[in-house]
Amino acid sequence: MPTLKNEPDTCREYGFCNCLECGAVVKKDITLCPRCHSHLHSRKPKSLQKSWMFLITSIILFFPANLLPITYTRTIGQPVQVDTIMSSILFLWHHGSYAVASIIFVASIFTPFFKIAVLLYLLTHPAPKRPPVIQTKLYRFIHFVGRWSMIDVFVVALLGALVQNNLASITPGAGIFAFAAVVVATMFATEQFDIRILWDKYRDYSCKNQS
């Protein structure tokens, strides 16, 4: 078993696996937890392939999400107003709703873009020569923000429900469905990625190069 100076050993190197559901430590070759009966894997199976698949899906959907209309606003006596995410942010900004415009910009444009960029960085990262602490923090952060990214979908659903009378109506466009799909795909890509792979790579690299 390779050991590393100033570094704690891992469960895997001792031939054990940690059940993520109940915390039991069992031998690596056991596939079913004897305690809670959940499937055991020392690393998420096919983590990189699955993460890549969801990431590529989210990159493809990012374009229709931002280019297609998210809402159609119909007001009596007025032409139908068609809005994309960006045009609705600019509309809010020009009408003085700076805080709402900023929140929607951060949640709908910046956050998905940032998540995609971080996942691309993590997936294409070569064997780290130093402990991947920053990468782990970035991963934890995108994992945390995932659940707050649906704000745009909620705004459209709320507007559609509130502005529904004889004089005006708001209906969702294809862009909002593409946007929801981007959020879901990035959440799956994040969920499938196993950050321990980077620590394994770092460990392998360091074991090979330690004097």
Read off the amino acid at residue 77. G
What is the chain's alpha carbon radius of gyration, rounded to the nearest angstrom? 23
CA distance 39 to 119: 26
- Indicate the residue among 26 and 123 with the shorter CB distance to Zn ion: 26
19 in contact with Zn ion (CB under 5 A): yes
106 in contact with Zn ion (CB under 5 A): no
CA distance 130 to 98: 42
Tokens of 188: 């799956």
User: Can you tell me which residue has the tokens 């910009």?
Assistant: 105
CA–CA distances in Å: residue 146 to residues 52, 80, 87, 141, 188: 17, 33, 24, 9, 10
In whole angstroms, the minimum distance from the beta carbon of 43 to Zn ion comes to: 16
The stretch among 30-38, 55-63, 141-149, 152-160 that binds Zn ion (CB under 5 A) is 30-38
In whole angstroms, the minimum distance from the beta carbon of 33 to Zn ion comes to: 3
- Indicate the residue among 40 and 198 with the shorter CB distance to Zn ion: 40
Sole binder of Zn ion in the list 10, 18, 24, 184 (CB under 5 A):
24
CA distance 205 to 132: 12
Burial, 99: exposed, middle or buried (Cβ in 10 Å; 0-12, 13-18, 19+)?
exposed
The stretch among 17-25, 43-51, 70-78, 93-101 that binds Zn ion (CB under 5 A) is 17-25
The stretch among 23-31, 68-76, 133-141, 152-160 that binds Zn ion (CB under 5 A) is 23-31
- Indicate the residue among 33 and 122 with the shorter CB distance to Zn ion: 33
Number of residues binding to Zn ion, judged by CB under 5 A: 7
The stretch among 24-32, 138-146, 166-174, 198-206 that binds Zn ion (CB under 5 A) is 24-32
In whole angstroms, the minimum distance from the beta carbon of 125 to Zn ion comes to: 30
In whole angstroms, the minimum distance from the beta carbon of 19 to Zn ion comes to: 3
- Indicate the residue among 9 and 21 with the shorter CB distance to Zn ion: 21
According to DSSP, residue 149 is labeled T
Sole binder of Zn ion in the list 2, 25, 35, 168 (CB under 5 A):
35
3-state helix, strand, coil in the chain (%, to 5): 55, 10, 30
Tokens of 68: 């297609």
Q: Which residues bind Zn ion (CB under 5 A)?
A: 19, 21-22, 24, 33, 35-36
